[in-house]
Amino acid sequence: MLYLALGCFFVGIAAIVAIFFVHSLSEGAPGLTLYLLTLACPLGFVLAVVYALRSGRRSR
């Protein structure tokens, strides 16, 4: 689950960077696909928090 969370987070970060590049290097607006891929960033963060909570040690 950790690798899935990291993958989603980095896909989201790459999409955010790509939006900045597309917006600064071209006249047109970035596509809807890039905007939807940015939602992977918070999804990856939530998955990482869930993984950390589930894999943590139990208190006695």
Helices 2-25 and 40-55: crossing angle, nearest 10°? 160
- Residues spanned by the domain of 32: 2-53
Judge whether 48 lies within some domain.
yes
Could you report the per-residue pLDDT of 8-41, keeping only the tens digit for each? 999 999 999 999 999 888 888 888 999 999 999 9
pLDDT at residue 47 tops 90:
yes
Could you give the number of structural domains in the chain? 1
Q: How far apart are CA 16 and CA 51, in angstroms?
A: 24
Judge whether 59 lies within some domain.
no
At residue 60 the predicted structure's pLDDT band, cuts being 50, 70 and 90, is: low
Judge whether 60 lies within some domain.
no
pTM: 0.80
pLDDT at 58: 66
Which comes out higher in pLDDT, residue 57 or 41?
41
Judge whether 6 lies within some domain.
yes
pLDDT at residue 46 tops 70:
yes
